[in-house]
Amino acid sequence: METHRYRAAITLTVIGLVAAIALAGVDRLTRDRIQQSRDARAEATLTAMLPDLRFDNDLINDDIGLSLPGLEAPARIYRARLDGQPVAAIVDLVTSRGYSGDIRMLVAVNPSGEVIASRVLAHRETPGLGDKIEIERNDWITGFAGRSLANTSSSSWAPDRRGGDFDTLTSATITSAAVIDAVHAALQGLENAEPEQLWRSADEL
């Protein structure tokens, strides 16, 4: 009887181990596929930010972290290059200053420090009001193109209802200010970064 119980226990243990290994394999495969899908979507979004620029590097795998003034979480900087020369930096950042919480954005900037394009990736702003920061709902977000620290004074980086240069989305002043501040922070962070650090390739690290 004891031998039978012992064998049964061993059998159950082996079955449990096999099941655990199988589940781990499925989980890893699923996570890998999800990550690949996310990378593909991210790369498509990043590429869409640079419609008129030529680059020949892998944007997703050419990135560094960078702290931005006034923002809690470090940003991710994706570097676009052509023949090894920088053509754009795309800042992936999150600001917590939205009316309803975090707003995740991409801000593409050329080597001269001018905004190429800005896009909102995720937010929880009020439908019909704050969600007009989405390019699909309103062209407001395109108003940053061509702006830089050189052609826009520090005090001008604010909604016009607060004395700034940028239009205020109707009934969404807080949301407007959060996005404007985030774009400003992206430009400041890139300007403050050492060029050698900002554009250093992975092979040089």
pLDDT digits over 104-134, tens only? 999 999 999 999 999 999 999 999 999 999 9
Please report, to the nearest 10 degrees, the dihedral formed by the alpha carbons of residues 82, 84, 86, 87 taken in order: 0
Residue 95 β-bridge partners = 103
* 172 neighbors 130 (Cβ within 8 angstroms): yes
Give the pLDDT band of residue 11 (cuts 50, 70, 90): low
> ∠ CA(84), CA(89), CA(95), 5° rounding?
155
CB atoms within 10 A of CB 117: 19
Using one digit for the tens of pLDDT, what is the confidence trace for 168-202? 999 999 999 999 999 999 999 999 998 888 888 75
Strand ranges inside the chain, DSSP E: 63-66, 75-82, 85-98, 101-109, 115-122
What's this model's pTM, rounded to 2 decimal places? 0.80
pLDDT, tens digit, 9 for 90 and up, residues 16-36: 666 666 666 665 657 667 656
